[in-house]
Amino acid sequence: MRSAMQRWWLGVLVAGALIAVLVELKAQPAPSEEAAVLGADQALGEAMRTAEKSVARRLLSLQFTYVDADGKIHERKDFLATLKAMAAAAGDNPTVKIHGRIGMVTGQRKTADGRDVFFLDIWAKQKRAWRALVSQDVVLAAADAPGLPPAQSASAAAPYDCKNPCQALPYRVRSAAEQDIVGSFQAIEKAAIGHNADEWSKHVADEFVLYGSGRPPIAKSGRIAMIERQKANNTPVTVGEVHAMRLAVYDDGAAMVATHMMADNSRPPYQAARVWVKRNGQWQMAISVQTDIK
């Protein structure tokens, strides 16, 4: 039978061991937000491949949409109903970026029929959990293909009057942040039409890349060079009218999803998914992925 002194020392040793464990646990870094978003993205991909609807349902926001490589838009209900048919191979070396409570995962992956696509998955942190807002695939052109099709240019005989989106949008803003983002978006479109590369650049993040169906990726520097060439050649430029738009702001990050159509039908309708980031009080577009839709 242990003496009182032995019991006391045993208690001290046990307490010391517990304290050591707690200190060690506290010293271990918590999983980063990047790791959390990547984990959620991989979990959703696995749920799609195994048709685990209950898992996928918990990972999707109520506003979730998926645009596949063929340009078909799937709302959340349709996506869950045909989950396994949506499955694609896991992305190779995906890149994760966090802007406020918006997370974006980008990379290359293969569709079920073996095509290589670029993908953008946008996540939002809702009630302390990351949930998918948008998943969009786009089939790109070869790296040496022309950047933008000639259909982007309007006829010199018919001056272009940009009312939508330059003057008005079919969207009712709900906050000052949304108003600022809409204003920045309109400034970008006006600058493109007016061949004003400096103004365009102010509203676009340095890491910006434009991805579009049937064309190679265009970085910010390449887009600026294109605007300057259009100015030198006095090339009239048109932009797609916005027919529907959703905007979600999460602290210093925001996601914009819009359906565009060219007034002259010079290009197929397309769905654009854009991520915005607020830096030094200025909202800037960080990425734009445009998939031609049916």
Question: Three-state secondary structure along 229-294?
Answer: HHHHCCCCECCCEEEEEEEEEECCEEEEEEEEECCCCCCCCEEEEEEEEEECCEEEEEEEEEEECC
Q: What pLDDT sits at residue 294?
A: 82
In the chain, where the domains are located: 33-138, 150-292
Q: How far apart are CA 182 and CA 173, in angstroms?
A: 8
Give me the count of residues in the chain.
294
Q: What pLDDT sits at residue 111?
A: 80
Q: What pLDDT sits at residue 157?
A: 42
Q: Token pair for residue 134?
A: 């948008």
β-pair partners for 101: none
Q: What pLDDT sits at residue 15?
A: 45
Which of 3.10.20.30, 3.30.930.10, 1.20.1440.120, 3.10.450.50 would CATH assign to domain 33-138?
3.10.450.50
Which of 3.30.9.10, 3.40.50.720, 3.10.450.50, 3.40.50.10090 would CATH assign to domain 150-292?
3.10.450.50
Q: How far apart are CA 239 and CA 243, in angstroms?
A: 12
Non-local (6+) Cβ contacts of 179 within 8 A are 173
Q: What pLDDT sits at residue 91?
A: 73
Q: Do domains 33-138 and 150-292 have the same CATH topology?
A: yes
Segments in the chain below pLDDT 70? 1-31, 142-159
Q: 87, exposed or middle or buried, with CB in 10 Å at 0-12, 13-18, 19+?
A: middle
